[in-house]
Structure formats: structure tokens, C-alpha cells
Structure 1
Amino acid sequence: MHNTQLPRAQQLAERALARFEHFLHIEAVSGVVLLIAAIAALVWANSPAAASYEALWHTPITLGVGSLVYAQPLHFWVNDGLMTIFFLVVGMEIRREIHEGALANLRQATLPMVAAIGGVAVPALVYLGFGHAADEQRGWAVPTATDIAFAVGVLALLGKSIPSNVRVFLLALAIIDDIIAVLIIAVFYSGGLDYSGFAVAALGLALVVGLQRIGVGSAYAYVIPGAITWVGVLMTGAHPTLAGVVLGLMTPVTARPMRETPLEAVTRFTQELVGRARNAGQAPGDLLSPLKHLRLAQRELLPPVVRVQSALHPWVAYAIMPVFALANAGVSVGGVDLGAQAPHGVMLAVMLALVVGKPVGIISVSWLMVRLGLCSLPAGVTWSGITLIGLLAGIGFTMSIFIANLAFIDPATLGAAKLGVLSASVIAAVLGLVWGVLRVRKA
């Protein structure tokens, strides 16, 4: 009989790891981490050590092989490199929702779809209504985006008293919002296109399709084709993070074809492994083959879009997005002259568009569509719930700051836009929480 009593240290380690994993899957936590990173960046950029903040993100990072050398500052590798993985996960979320989620049924998806369009159009009009100069008008798309992680995290703080369909509606709206944001980036914030880059990107995508056709299921095999696609999109002049969206949309939603179902294969190889392990004369090396086949069969139990997204989610939520916030939220208040008309106008326009324009656009368009009989509210979703969704959609954070970096060249205007996004996101989060608490108490 084997001794199953584990050492005390190992028991404590396993218990701590289990609690840590549970902690990482609490949706509100990723939003809190993001907020902490943004606050840290603001404090750092306005402290006596502000010079070190600027120096860090302007540190050149060089990649090269032989005579092929490519050097860019750390800020570029965060915004254009790491954020590609963020957009890859966004693409996978869109792919999953279209296949089996809130976007799979056209009737079910219509209301969040038109609400998202309203939530993009009205903030853009509010921003443009300030009558900016030509350079500042390029920021019209900054207040049109919703931060999924932050918005859903704030909603999670309200607990299970909020109907599940409110969360589904918010997720669907935010995902459609992301689709529109990606299209806006592709159409309005890409420079003059160099068509030679399309050939390189097409080569990368052809390699992805080829690997999928021959049944390669390992995600690591797609790293090089993905990198080729990224380089190709960068060469075209479009924003390279769009490569992540394309690759995410191409990720299969079903397991690769096998001669038997993955569950049958897992059962068969498990039985073979157990049989060999119980054989007293069996050499340990003889277990390698069934173990290898068992691992492959276990991998195919989940479709690639679920498997890869689940593997990347913790890295995106707790590493990539906080690093992005740390690199981009550090606005030096002293370096932004809010007394000047242009920066002051940009900041106010972004704040008003997110805090007021977002909920007005979402609520008014939803009401109009329901009133005309073209849509109906989902089960369990009331107008109070739609108002909560509209308020939380004003949290622009990640995507809004990302678009601001593309829209503005002038540091003062960019800083003002970021301050507007940060301020509006905090106000929208507080308004959403207050409205949610009042809603819960009333219920």
C-alpha cells in the first residue's frame, strides 16, 4: 500500500496554488490590476523620477540576424508587438461568439449590434461637435471604444444579483464595439499602403492555412507563420496589431479531424497506458508512446479557439494589458497645458463623449429599435439593465488609449486625450457601480 500522505510543505504549496488560480479567474481582479498599473504610471510620470519613466520606454530594443537588423524603442514593442497578442485574443473571442455565442443568432445579436453602433456614432458626433482644428479632429474615434476587461470587471463587482443576460449583452456589445474599432483602425489610422507587404502577409496566412489543412494542432507551429504575417502587415503601413485579429478569426472552432473522436482516443490510450504500467516487467521507456498519444488526444478534446484563448488569457489580462497601461497611462500633468485651447478642448470632448455620449447612444438606439418593434429586450434585461450597460460602456481605457496613440502626434494633445480617457473611465466605472448598487437595492 502506497503512502498517500504528502509532505506538509507540498500540501501548503498546492493549496496556495489552487487559491491563486481561482483568484486569477475572478473577472474583477484583472480590472483592478489594470487600474493599479495605470495609477502607477501616472504617479511615476509625475514624480521626481519622471525622467526614468520616459527613458525606460524609449530604450531601443534591437532584433536581428546577420545584416538584417530592426531596432525600435520599447514603447513600440509594447504597443505594436505585445498588443498583437491582445488583438489575437480579441479575434478569437469574436470567432467564438460568431460560432456559438451571442453573435451566432442574428435575431439575438441584432439589438447589441445596433446598440454598439449607436455607442460608436454618438460619442464620435459629441467629440466632433466641439469644433476642433483639423489635427484634433483625428481623435474622433478615441471615445468610441469600450474596454471589455474593465467593464466586465466592474460588472462582476456587483455580484450575482445582476442577471446573467445583462453580462451577455454587455459582452456582445463590447465585442461588436471591438470589431468596429478594428475596422476604424484599419481604414482611418493606417498610413499610405505599401502593397509589397501584402505578399509577405499572404505568405504567412498561406502557411497558417497549410498547417491547418495537414492537421497540425500544436499552437507553437503557428508562431513563425504568425510572425511572418505580422511583419507583412507592418510593411504595408497598416497597424501590425491587425495581424492578430486576422489570425484570431482564422483559429478553428472545431477540433482537427481524427480517425476516432478525441474522447474515444483518450479512453483507449488511457487503458493502454494503465495496462502497460501494471505490467511488472514493463520498462518505464515503454510508457512514452501511449503517454504521447494520450497527450495529443487530450489536447484535441478542446477546439483550438478555446484552448489557445484559455492559455493566453492570463498572460493578456495580468501581463500584456497592465504593461500596456504602464507604458501609456503615464501622462505628465505638468507637460499638458490644459490652459491652451486645443488640449483642454480635446480632454473635455473625450470625457463628455465617453461619459455621456456612450450611454446616450446605446440607450437611445436600443429604445428606438424596441419601440419600432424591430428588436426586443433579452429575457431578464430591463431598461435599468440597459442603462447600466450604457454607463459601463463609457469605460474606454485600453482601446481608447490605443487609438489616441494612433490619432495624435503632438505630445500635449496626446497627453490631454489620455487624461480624458482615464478620467472618463473612472467616472463611468463609479457611475456604473452606483447605478448598479441602487438597482440591486431597489430589486
Structure 2
Amino acid sequence: MKITKLFNDFFHSERAGGMVLMGCTVFSLLLTNSFLHESYVHIWEYTIGGQPVEYWVNDGLMTIFFLLVGLELEREVYIGELSNVKLALLPVIAALGGMLVPAGLHYLLNGGTVTQGGAGIPMATDIAFALAALSLLGNRVPASLKVFLTALAVIDDLGAILVIAFFYTDALAWTNLLVALSVFGALLILNRLKVRNLIPYLAGGVVMWYFMLHSGIHATISGVLLAFAIPFGNGDEKSTSYILQQRLHRPVAFMILPLFALANTCVVIPNDWFQGLLTSNSMGILLGLVVGKPIGIFLFSFLAAQLKLSALPGDLNWKHIFGVGILGGIGFTMSIFVTLLAFNDPAFIDTSKIAIMIASVMAGLGGYLWLNVCFSRAVVGNTEPLK
């Protein structure tokens, strides 16, 4: 399978970014649970413009992350894995299963309770961590599996964005929403007029973000909308979309996501933290990510192939798909993001974060070990049929 230079850049930046993300998470947890706890937490509570630093990271900088996700999704739709209906359906249907089954498991345990809003927490896959885990397997990983996981994770994130827009919006300020959408419409007109300069799009994006922020819908949605307003052209290295996407890879991977991890893993781990894992909410998150993700991704993919809706790439087998399904349980960034929208109670937020981190570690290790065995057998000449 031919892989574009931009995809390779994306894969390698996400891989390295995942390593940095992991280090930041450990660093933040250690500081939060040390004698430096008050000083460290105060950094994120320091107010700028009437809001704490954590707020600007989650509602401001993360919009840039969603802009990058939107640009990658746009590329996949126009010229990538999602440009061919037959090829696109496999990761799309897999992602659907990877969202519905985990959410269903959580809801089974929490439906009708104060924590039922947490059903969206185990739905998403963390692109950076998942690709970082896959990259540890080296050159044994087929290109088609990298593309499948990337497309799956991007679609997963789009699903999470839609869930945020429709299910985690309390009340709408219609005037602000209409202004934001009007700005989006104006940017689309600029696109149709073949305006290629990035400045008016970025300026319009800031205005759209401001009014979206005050509309009741989470401001990060403006990042995705902006991505689809930016001209794609033919997608070559001179296109506006390509230039912006290439410039955003490293700042997002090495600055924005690490800052998000540092700001949102200030979790004091109590002595009875294990008891918190036995609550219905924590169990729903753990089961959703560790069990629901691989089952949903594998089962929906298998059914899609059996019903002839899509086909498995020739160099992959169902063990590979199940392994990617396990890696899909690394929910970290998006799961924590949804947690902050789902709950207001600090106790629920902290126990959810602990469950997310434990589940993500389990999924990362489990997926790595599973795929390592699969590829090791292939290397030594295993004669077992692929399908």
C-alpha cells in the first residue's frame, strides 16, 4: 500500500507525541501526589482573563487539536482511506462498533443513575497513544494496519465530537450559535472563491471559536468546522490544507496534548483508590475500554466483511483487527475530555480519570503483546492461514 509523505509525518509525530504524553502523565501524577501538590495544582488554577489556565487549555488549545483531527479526516475523505466507499466502510463500521458497544456496556451498569452521562467516556480512541503503541512493533506492522488504525481513531474522534455536540450541551444561546455558523458560512464562501491565503481563515476561526464558546456548544467543535472550510484543492504539498496540517503536527503532538495531559491528570490518588474502581461508573469505563472496544471493533468489522459491505486488506487477518481493537481501548485524551463535560462532581471526575488511565494502560499493553505474538509468528514462518 502506498503511503503519502504527510501520512508518514502524521504517524511519526503521533508516535513520538504518544511517548511524550505518557511521560507527562507520569510526571503530573508524581507531582500531584508529592509534597509539591499545592504548588503544582496552583499552576493550573491560576486565573488569566477571569478563567483558570486549565480552562484555556481545555477550551482554547484543544480547539487546535480538533482542527488537526478535522484536517486529517478531510484528507482521508478526499484522497485517503475514506475516499473509496468500499475501503472506507471497514474503518467506519469498525469505529461504529467501537463506540456503540463500550457506551452500551457503560449504560447497562449506569442507566437511570447519576453517572449515566458517563456513557460517552469509553467511546473514543486516543490517536497519539494508540499509534505510539503500534509503532513499538517496528517495521513488522503492515502499512494497511497503520492506515486502518489511524482512520479508525479519526472516525472515533469525530464520533466523540458529535456526542459532545448533541449530548453534552445543556442550553443553547441561539444568537451566538447563529453568528458562529454565519462565520463558518462566510469561510465556506471564501473557499468557493478560491481564496488560498490562510490568514482570513484563521482570523475567522478565532471569531467562530469565540461565539461558539458562548453558544452553549463546546468551543472545540469550531476547530472541526474550520478544518472543512480550509481549501483542500488537490491535496498536494502546495494546498492550503496540507501546509496547515504539516505545520500543526509537531505543536499539537509536543505542546498542546502534553499540556492537556499535565493539566488534566492532577489526580490525588487516595489510599482507597481501588474501592473507587468498584463503582458502577468506573466499572463501566473499564469494561467499555478494555472489553467493549475490541469486541465492538472486531465484531462489526467481521460482520461488514461477511455481509460483503467491505473487505479486509489482503495483508491483514482477523487477529490483526482484534489487536487493533484492543489498542482502541486507549481512550486517554478524548475520554478525559468527555469526563470533564459529563460530570461536575470532582469525586466522579477523579475516579473516572483513574479508571481511564488504568484501562488505557491495560489496553496499550494488551494490544502490544497480542500483536507482537501475531507478528513474531509471521516472522518465523508460521504456516497458519491468514483468513
Contact 2:86/2:311 (<8 A) preserved: no
- Equivalent positions of 1:2-41 (< 5 A) are 25=12, 27-41=14-28
Aligned match of 1:19? none
Contact 1:338/1:344 (<8 A) preserved: no
Contact 1:336/1:412 (<8 A) preserved: no
The CA distance in 2 between the partners of 1:307 and 1:227, in whole Å, is: 19
Deviation per residue, 1:39-91 (Å, 9 max, x gap): 111111111111122211111101xxxxxxxx211111000000000001111
- After TM superposition, give the deviation of residue 112 of structure 1 in Å: 1.3
- After TM superposition, give the deviation of residue 413 of structure 1 in Å: 0.8
The CA distance in 2 between the partners of 1:248 and 1:336, in whole Å, is: 44
- After TM superposition, give the deviation of residue 175 of structure 1 in Å: 1.4
Q: Is residue 2:241 matched to residue 1:305?
A: yes
Secondary structure (helix, strand or coil) at the match of 2:199 reads helix
Aligned match of 1:290? none
Q: Is residue 2:140 matched to residue 1:161?
A: yes
The CA distance in 2 between the partners of 1:320 and 1:335, in whole Å, is: 31
Equivalent residue in structure 2 for 1:354, among 289, 293, 307: 289
Aligned match of 1:108? 87
- Equivalent positions of 1:300-339 (< 5 A) are 302-334=238-270, 339=275
Deviation per residue, 1:329-372 (Å, 9 max, x gap): 1211129865369x733222211210111001111111222223
Secondary structure (helix, strand or coil) at the match of 1:339 reads helix
- After TM superposition, give the deviation of residue 27 of structure 1 in Å: 4.3
- Equivalent positions of 1:161-310 (< 5 A) are 161-213=140-192, 215-254=194-233, 302-310=238-246
Equivalent residue in structure 1 for 2:338, among 392, 400, 403: 403
Contact 2:124/2:334 (<8 A) preserved: yes
- CA RMSD in angstroms comes to 2.2
Contact 2:237/2:243 (<8 A) preserved: no
- After TM superposition, give the deviation of residue 209 of structure 1 in Å: 3.5
The CA distance in 2 between the partners of 1:371 and 1:213, in whole Å, is: 41
Q: Which amino acid aligns with 2:39?
A: S
Q: Is residue 2:30 matched to residue 1:51?
A: no
Instruction: Mark the CA change 1:27 to 1:132 in structure 2 (over 3 Å): closer, same or farther.
Output: same
- After TM superposition, give the deviation of residue 212 of structure 1 in Å: 3.7
The CA distance in 1 between the partners of 2:45 and 2:169, in whole Å, is: 23
Contact 2:14/2:127 (<8 A) preserved: no
- After TM superposition, give the deviation of residue 150 of structure 1 in Å: 1.2
Instruction: Mark the CA change 1:307 to 1:340 in structure 2 (over 3 Å): closer, same or farther.
Output: closer
Q: Is residue 2:368 matched to residue 1:389?
A: no
Q: Is residue 2:345 matched to residue 1:434?
A: no
- After TM superposition, give the deviation of residue 210 of structure 1 in Å: 4.9
What 5-or-longer segments of structure 2 have no aligned partner? 1-8, 379-387
Contact 2:14/2:253 (<8 A) preserved: no
Instruction: Mark the CA change 1:339 to 1:95 in structure 2 (over 3 Å): closer, same or farther.
Output: same
Deviation per residue, 1:95-145 (Å, 9 max, x gap): 111100111111111121111111111101111222466321100010010
Secondary structure (helix, strand or coil) at the match of 1:334 reads coil
Q: Which amino acid aligns with 1:143?
A: P
Contact 2:59/2:219 (<8 A) preserved: yes
Q: Is residue 2:323 matched to residue 1:344?
A: no
The CA distance in 1 between the partners of 2:239 and 2:172, in whole Å, is: 35
Deviation per residue, 1:272-328 (Å, 9 max, x gap): xxxxxxxxxxxxxxxxxxxxxxxxxxxx95111111010011000000000000000
Contact 2:124/2:156 (<8 A) preserved: yes
Instruction: Mark the CA change 1:177 to 1:244 in structure 2 (over 3 Å): closer, same or farther.
Output: same
The CA distance in 2 between the partners of 1:327 and 1:89, in whole Å, is: 20
- After TM superposition, give the deviation of residue 222 of structure 1 in Å: 2.6
Q: Is residue 2:304 matched to residue 1:377?
A: no
Deviation per residue, 1:140-183 (Å, 9 max, x gap): 01001001111112111111111111111111111111111111
Contact 2:68/2:245 (<8 A) preserved: yes
Contact 2:201/2:226 (<8 A) preserved: no
Larger radius of gyration: 1
What 5-or-longer segments of structure 1 have no aligned partner? 1-21, 63-70, 257-299
Instruction: Mark the CA change 1:255 to 1:360 in structure 2 (over 3 Å): closer, same or farther.
Output: closer
Aligned match of 2:384? none
Using structure 1 for the length normalisation, give the TM-score.
0.79
Aligned match of 2:100? 121
Aligned match of 1:85? 64
Q: Which amino acid aligns with 2:297?
A: I
The CA distance in 2 between the partners of 1:423 and 1:78, in whole Å, is: 23
Q: Which amino acid aligns with 2:309?
A: L
Contact 2:295/2:325 (<8 A) preserved: yes
Runs of 4+ off more than 3 Å: 24-27, 209-216, 335-341
The CA distance in 2 between the partners of 1:430 and 1:103, in whole Å, is: 29
Contact 1:255/1:301 (<8 A) preserved: no
